[in-house]
A and B are shown apart, each in its own frame.
Chain A
Amino acid sequence: MLDQFLLGLSVVMQPNVLMYAFFGVFLGQLIGVLPGVGAITAISLLLPVTFYLDATTSMILLAGIYYGSQYGGSIASILMNLPGTPSSVVTCLEGYPLAQNNRAGLALFVAAFSSFLGGMVGVSILVLAAIPMTVIALKFGAPEYAMLVILGLLAASMIGTGSQIRSFAMVILGIALGLVGADATTGYYRFVAMPELADGISLVSLAMGLFGVSEVIRNASRRPAANAKPLSVSMRDVIPTRAQARSLAFPIVRGSSIGSFFGALPGTGAAIASFMAYAMERRFSRSPEKFGTGHLPGLAAPESANNAASQTGFIPTLTLGVPGDAVMALIIGALILNGIIPGPRLMVDQPELFWGVIASFFVGNIILLLINIPLIKLWVLLLRIPYQKLYPMIVIMICVGVYSHRTSVTDVLLTLAFGILGYLMKNYRFEPAPVLLGFVLGPLLEDNFRRTMLLYGGDFTVFLTRPISAVLVAFSAFLIVFAIWSSVFDARITKRSTK
């Protein structure tokens, strides 16, 4: 294994290949910062460029854009509550409060470093366990996915910072919004008020509206003097203290593990991984009340998770030639156009390409860390721009980004409508994050549940007779029992202490 990895490193260390790796991650980083412009837009625009490059270099370049964008996504989330990518929605939850408390530098540092560690864990799993992970991923059929999503929804039901009922209501709202579009099982149109909605509401519109636009409206209704306070950007304020660093070790380990697992499952991806990591962190935290106020472990865990997931996401792509999502499909397309057939034989037939690409992830993550740390000071300076100048620009950028996604004016209008909805929700203390979670997980649950029913003739016992599915059901049952037990227990304690 090490020999092959060294072979890969020797490929990446050629100056021109290294240059493309750098270019890829740097571009990805920038794309990630821009709201609404996803890696997929950037990659499809660069596709013709790869006609002039060899397969390995093209893949290193395109892959760099993809995982680089995961780093960049956290920057706008922290500074402006603007998730650059859907997977950095969770980063807003702790990152933005930190920035508002004048700790933007620290938040950016923790995000970059957690991203780096998560990415490295992901790459290590890719090197050491790509084949076993593939075997596990193939064992996940429709029943397993359905039960995994239920487990995820249960685990994440505490994701909001307000009351449980409010958070639950928002998950339901998200699921309801996810129903719009063609039903995947019959093709029947549901709530398709106009043809643009036939494929459903765009996740980008929803995320940009509920987070970015609503924040702009909120700030517009405040007094402009609010941000006149001086900003500290000295390196001492940026680097976490020893105690802070120690408190982040386990969240990063947990986040990376969750991310690595979800990344390897085709069709789930970085966004779900980051939600799960955040939810887990809250579950296991000794001080869950600190979440939502700028709690560092709540920032580190999802950041490491989405980056780990973006690396292990290459497992099905590289080992089976089966793309896990649209970005991977595009990268595979680039390989095909280069005359290389991505499939199970890639590792054997093209060891230089296979290991070169993996080694480039290793190098790319180091490059990203090195360019991110010095840039922190620069990014924080963005906050010195007065709101009245910054926010109109943000709205324009959001509109352009959303439009570029599907060339759809409907999407832009929907984004603005979701912005107003997000503003109203915030005013009545409803959290937007659970809406996103329901929106992402709801259709995945419905799709896999109904596929299970179709495959097994409506037999519910299949969820219990298939081993992996049964284990997931057991976990869910445990979570429910644990929740009931702890609420009863808590109630008793409060009763006693009030006596």
Chain B
Amino acid sequence: MFRKLITALPLAAALALPAVAQEFPDRALRIVHGFGAGGNADTVSRIMAEEMSKTLGQPVVVESRPGAGGTVASGYVSKEDPDGYTMQLMVGGHAVAAALYNSLPYESVDGFTFISTLGQFPFMVAARSGEYDSIGALIEAAKASPGSVKIGHSGVGSTQHLTGELLALRTGAEFLHIPYKGGAAASTALMGGEVDVVIDTGTVIRPQAEAGVYDILAITSGERWPDAPDVPTVSETVADGFDVVSWTGIGMPAGVPDDIADKIRGAVHDALAVPAVSDKIASLGAKPSPSSGEDMTALIEGQVAVWTDVIATAGIEKR
């Protein structure tokens, strides 16, 4: 036993030495995310990994740990070593989960070191072309005959669903919310006439709008969106102060040393400054939005508060 230890010691020292001597990072990094291979989160992770591996000089590997709306991955990441080698690609659902789940195996805000948001994107309220003149007309129709206007959404507890509930709360209109498995299925139902409205991201809505199949009635961001300046906001038309913007961002386990967090943040911001990267983020319907860790923390805290309120008021079953 002792002899084994003696022989192992120099080996361990040899292994440990370069870690001390060399600068961070000296081995491969990971971006973990909580969604299926090929989803939006996966794509954004791969775009970032590709570019960040150039700046950091080490390979960046993407790891998909799907399950329970991303909470499996968040639980996993928050318990990893805060050594800077494990990153998580987070989405707006991180804030939703904090409000939706009775108990989570992690602290949604304190369990993480937030690095930077990557992209922010609004949702679009769409109907079949010619059905409603405006968002005002839609709300009027829903008020005139409560429960007759059907909103298709991408799943119970999705940000899309909660945005629809929030729209109902703030306008006093009553909708029938119909769950589908994903935005594409909801969009198909809108095309086929099964539902009247779909609230989803630009990637789902805009191709159909450009082909004249849908009208975009309104956008959910507080201000008009630079990418679609002609579309009125919900806030300026039917619900003053309405502001729903979802996001993607990078987080790490709580307790990452500041210098390492800054280095990662630098690499993230550098990547977002590369036109090829920001173009791709933009093509996915998002506005590239490098931020500080404090801004990202504040964004998440604000959204947790809003969604907690919506879930309680709309009577959505907590998990």
Interface assignment of A320: CB less than 8 Å from any CB of chain B: yes
Q: A47-B46, A184-B155, A326-B38 are in contact. Are A406 and B65 (CB under 8 A)?
A: yes
The distance in angstroms between the C-alpha atoms of A142 and B185, with both chains bound, is 11
User: Per-position contact with A for B149-187: 1 when CB-CB < 8 Å, else 0?
Assistant: 010000111000000000000000000101111101101
| CB < 8 Å neighbour of B178 from A139, A188, A330, A454 | A454
Residue interface bits A432-476, CB-to-B below 8 A is 1, else 0: 000000000000000100010011000000000000000000000
Query: Which residues of chain B come closer than 8 Å to A182, judged between CB atoms?
Result: 68, 156, 319
A48 lies within 8 A of chain B by Cβ: yes
B194 within 8 A of A: yes
When distances are taken between beta carbons in the complex, the residues of chain B under 8 Å from A51 are: 50, 276, 280
Across the interface, name the chain B residue whose C-beta is closest to A334. B43
Q: Which of B202-210, B235-243, B247-255 is the interface stretch?
A: B202-210
Residues in chain B near residue A343, CB distance under 8 A: 207-208, 210-211, 213
Restricting to A251-297, which residues have a CB under 8 Å from any CB of B?
Answer: 266-267
A330 adjacent to B156 (CB under 8 Å) = no
Interface string of A317-343 (1 = CB under 8 A from B): 000111100110110010011010111
B105 touches A195 (CB 8 A): yes
Q: Which residue of A lies closest to B37 (CB)?
A: A44
- A18 within 8 Å of B (CB atoms): no
A264 smallest CB distance to B (angstroms): 12
Q: Are B157 and A187 in touch, CB under 8 angstroms?
A: yes
Cβ distance B210 to chain A, nearest Cβ, rounded Å = 7
Asked if B207 and A341 make an inter-chain contact with CB atoms under 8 angstroms apart, the answer reads yes
B189 located at the interface, meaning its Cβ lies under 8 Å from any Cβ of chain A in the complex = yes
Q: Which of A185, A320, A336 has a CB less than 8 Å from the CB of B188?
A: A320
Q: Does A198 contact B (CB under 8 A)?
A: yes
Interfacial chain B residues near A44, Cβ < 8 Å: 37-38, 42, 46, 64
CB neighbours (8 Å) of A193 from chain B are none
> Does B314 lie at the interface of the complex (its beta carbon under 8 Å from any beta carbon of A)?
no
- Bound Cα distance from A139 to B179, whole angstroms: 18
Q: With a CB–CB cut-off of 8 A, which chain A residues contact B213?
A: 343-344
Q: How far is the CB of B102 from chain A (nearest CB, A)?
A: 10
Contacting residue for A407 out of B40, B64, B156, B182, CB 8 A: B64
Are A185 and B284 within 8 A (Cβ)?
no
Asked if A429 is an interface residue, CB under 8 A from chain B, the answer is no
**Contact between A407 and B63 (Cβ–Cβ < 8 Å)?**
yes
Q: Which residue of A lies closest to B69 (CB)?
A: A198
Residues of chain B from 270 to 292 with CB closer than 8 A to chain A in the complex: 276, 279-280, 283-284
Residues of chain A within 8 A (CB-CB) of B207 are 321, 341-345
Contact with B along A26-45 (1 / 0, CB 8 A): 00000000000000110110
The answer to the question of B316 belonging to the interface, with a C-beta cut-off of 8 Å to chain A, is yes
Bound complex: CA A455 to CA B37 (Å): 32
Asked if A195 contacts B37 (CB within 8 A), the reply is: no
CA distance A40 to B39 in the complex (A): 10
B211 touches A345 (CB 8 A): yes
Which residue of A43, A267, A344 is within 8 Å of B38 (Cβ)? Answer: A43
* A321 touching B156, Cβ below 8 Å: no
**A447: min CB distance to chain B, Å:** 7
- Chain B's nearest CB lies how many Å from the CB of A77? 23
CB distance from A29 to the nearest CB of B (A): 20
CB pair A199 B66 closer than 8 Å: yes
B277 to chain A, nearest CB (A): 10
Task: Choose from B67, B71, B187 the contact partner of A322 (Cβ within 8 Å).
Answer: B187
On whether the beta carbons of B206 and A337 are closer than 8 Å, the reply is no
| Contact, CB under 8 Å: A199 / B68 | yes
Residues of B within 8 A of A344 (CB): 207-208, 211, 213
Query: Is B72's beta carbon under 8 Å from chain A?
Result: yes
Least CB distance from B193 to A in Å reads: 8
- Tell whether, in the assembled complex, residue B176 and residue A454 are in contact, meaning their CB atoms are under 8 Å apart: yes
Tell which of A43, A140, A186, A329 touches B156, judged by Cβ atoms closer than 8 Å. A186
Are A185 and B156 also in contact (CB < 8 A) when A343-B208, A345-B210 are?
yes
For the complex formed, measure the closest distance between the CB of A453 and the CB atoms of chain B, giving whole angstroms: 11
Report how far A142 CA is from B194 CA in the complex, Å. 8
Q: Tell me the smallest distance from the CB of A347 to a CB of chain B, in Å.
A: 10
Q: How far is the CB of A11 from chain B (nearest CB, A)?
A: 22
Candidates A138, A199, A327, A337; contact of B283 at CB < 8 Å: A337
- In the complex, A486 has a CB within 8 A of chain B: no
Contact A337 B210 (CB under 8 A): no
Whether A447 and B317, one on each chain, are in contact in the complex, defined by CB atoms closer than 8 angstroms, is: no
The answer to whether B75 has its CB under 8 Å from any CB of chain A is yes
CB of B279, distance to nearest CB on chain A (Å): 8
B 279-307 to A, binary, CB cutoff 8 A, 1 in contact else 0? 11001100000000000000000000000
Closest Cβ of chain B to A279, distance in Å, is: 25
Contacts of B192 in A (CB 8 A): 138-141
| Most chain B CB within a 10 A radius of its CB, from A44, A142, A196, A327 | A44
CA–CA, A186 and B156, complex, Å: 6
Q: Which residue of B lies closest to A198 (CB)?
A: B68
- Near A by CB (< 8 A), chain B positions 206-240 give 206-208, 210-211, 213
- Asked whether, in the complex, the Cβ of A333 is within 8 Å of the Cβ of B71, the reply is no
Interface centre among A316, A339, A344 (most CB of B within 10 A): A344
Question: Is B40 a contact partner of A187 (Cβ separation < 8 A)?
Answer: no
A189 contacts partner chain B, Cβ-Cβ < 8 Å: yes
Flag if B317 contacts A336 (CB, 8 Å).
no
B284 adjacent to A199 (CB under 8 Å): no
Is there an interface contact between B184 and A323, defined as CB atoms closer than 8 Å? yes
Chain A residues, CB < 8 A from B72 = 195-196, 198
Can you pick out 10 interface pairs between chain A and chain B where the beta carbons lie within 8 Å of each other?
Answer: A44-B38, A47-B38, A185-B179, A188-B319, A195-B72, A337-B283, A406-B67, A454-B176, A455-B150, A455-B178
Q: Which chain B residues have a beta carbon within 8 Å of chain A's beta carbons?
A: 36-40, 42-43, 46-47, 50, 63-69, 71-72, 75, 100, 105, 150, 155-157, 176, 178-182, 184-185, 187-189, 191-195, 203, 206-208, 210-211, 213, 276, 279-280, 283-284, 316-317, 319
The residues of A with any CB-CB pair to B shorter than 8 Å are 40-41, 43-44, 47-48, 51, 138-142, 182, 184-189, 195-196, 198-199, 266-267, 316, 320-323, 326-327, 329-330, 333, 336-337, 339, 341-345, 406-408, 447, 451, 454-455
Which 10 pairs across A and B sit closest by C-beta, in order of nearness?
A343-B207, A198-B68, A330-B38, A187-B156, A44-B37, A344-B211, A138-B192, A345-B211, A141-B194, A44-B38
